[in-house]
Amino acid sequence: MAGEQKSKAKMEQAKGKAKEAAGRAVGNERLEAEGRAEQAKGDARQSKEKAKDVFKH
């Protein structure tokens, strides 16, 4: 389960970066903001999983 969540976090971060870059390229501020939000969501998920790992060991 933890591996699945970690991969979800990485996928969200990558998708967010792509959206942000696409938004910046076409000048779409909303798309840029959505990308940043997805990255933040992925970062939060990754932090949560790292914290779980610390307490497991």
Burial of 35 (0-12, 13-18, 19+ CB in 10 A): buried
In a domain, residue 33? The reply is yes
- Tell me the C-alpha distance between 29 and 31, whole Å: 5
Phi, psi of 45 (to 5 degrees): -65, -40
In a domain, residue 44? The reply is yes
Mean pLDDT of 19-43: 96
In a domain, residue 48? The reply is yes
3-state SS class at 57: coil
pLDDT score at 55 = 83
pLDDT bucket at 5, cuts 50 / 70 / 90: confident
Task: Tell me the H-state helices in the chain.
Answer: 2-26, 29-56
pTM above 0.75, yes or no: yes
- Total number of domains in the chain: 1
CA angle at 13 for the pair 11 and 15, rounded to the nearest 5°: 65
Mean pLDDT of 4-26: 94
Range of the domain at 34: 11-55
pLDDT bucket at 1, cuts 50 / 70 / 90: low
